[in-house]
Each structure stands twice: as structure tokens, then as C-alpha cells.
Amino acid sequence: MAAHMSYEDQKKLVLKGLKILGFITIIEVLVALTAKGHLIPGLEFTGPMHYIYMLAMAAFSLYKAYFIVFFFMHLSSEVRGLRWSVLLPTMLLVWAIIAFFNEGSAWGHRREQIRKKNREEVKAPANGSLDYDKETTMFLI
């Protein structure tokens, strides 16, 4: 617990927390508006810049999360065992994020492929006859 801090120091920490969280939020919003082309005309983050932007946003948010958990929820002043018993399980989420985002992109590729195939126009073979599968009643192309 933050019991070893004086009351004045505690109040200072609170004010510091407000400043840090508020400041990061403002930065986040300004960066987001710039990235999407609302602040500087003609400037919009695309391609690799967009990925850097997304990573930066995630980093800002993780820092805010760290600050809230360690100083507002006082996890930094808890016993080491308690700290790790809460933090270690969340590491599982790292894999969940990698796996599911990868899976999501794979769905996206499939969807794109289906749309492309659906738009393709079917041409009859040169000899004029289509192979016909009697069991599935489908043309084999």
C-alpha cells in the first residue's frame, strides 16, 4: 500500500496521475485526427505509416493501463507474489491477439477470394461441351 507515503505526497501522485492520463489522451486524439487527415490538410497516414500509427496508439494505451494499475490500483505496492499472480495470466492474451488477428486476416483473404471468383465470367471450353457430373448435377469446369 502507499502507506509509507506522506499524505501530501499521495495528493501529489493523484495530481500527477490526472496530468499524465489527460495529457496522453489529448496526444492520442491529436495523433488520431492527424493520421486521419483532419488536422493538416493533405496529410493522411497510409501504408507503413498507418501501422506505425496503430502501434503507437496501442503503446499509449498500454502506458495508460500500466499507470492506472500500478499507481491508482497500487499494484506496485503489493507483495510480489500478488503482483505476478495478477499480471502473468494476462500474458496469455498476447498469443490470443496474435492468433485471432491472424485468423481474422485469413477470413478476410477467403472473403476476398470468394468475391473475386464470383465476379469471374465462366467461359465454355473450346470443344463446346462442359463436363457434367451426374451425381452432383454440377458442371465441372
Partner 1 sequence: MASEAAVLENRQEQDEHLWSGGKSPFKASYGKLMMWYFLLTDAFTFAGFLISYGALRFSSVTWPVADFVFQKVPFFDVETPLVFVTFMTFVLIVSSVTMVRAVQEGQRENRKGVVIWMLATILGGLTFLSCQAWEWTTLIKAEGVTLTTNPFSMHEESGTYLSGEDLTGMGYTKVKKDFHGATSTYFLRNGVADMEENRFFVKTDHHGVSHAGESFEAGRPYLITIRHDTHQYEHAAYKNGNGDVVREAFGPKAFGDLFFFITGFHGFHVFSGVCFLTIIMLNSASGIYGARKNGYEMVEKIGLYWHFVDLVWVFVFLVFYLL
> Contact with partner 1 (CB under 8 A): which of 42, 47, 48, 89?
89
Query: What is the smallest separation between the CB atom of 38 and partner 1, expressed in angstroms?
Result: 6
Q: Where are the alpha helices (DSSP H) in 1-141?
A: 7-35, 48-67, 80-90, 92-119
**DSSP run (H or E) holding 138:** strand 138-140
Measured from the CB atom, is 1 or 122 closer to partner 1?
1
Q: Which amino acid is at 32?
A: A
Name the segment binding partner 1 (CB under 8 A); options: 87-95, 116-124, 131-139.
87-95
Contact 13, 71 (CB under 8 A): yes
17: nearest Cα among 63, 71, 65, 54: 71
Residue 72 touching partner 1 (CB under 8 A): yes
d(CA 39, CA 16): 28
- Return residues touching partner 1 (CB under 8 A): 1, 3, 7, 10-11, 14, 17-18, 21-22, 25-26, 28-29, 32-33, 36, 38, 54, 57-58, 61, 64-65, 68-69, 72-73, 78-79, 81-82, 85-86, 89-90, 93, 96-97, 100-101, 103-108, 111-112, 115
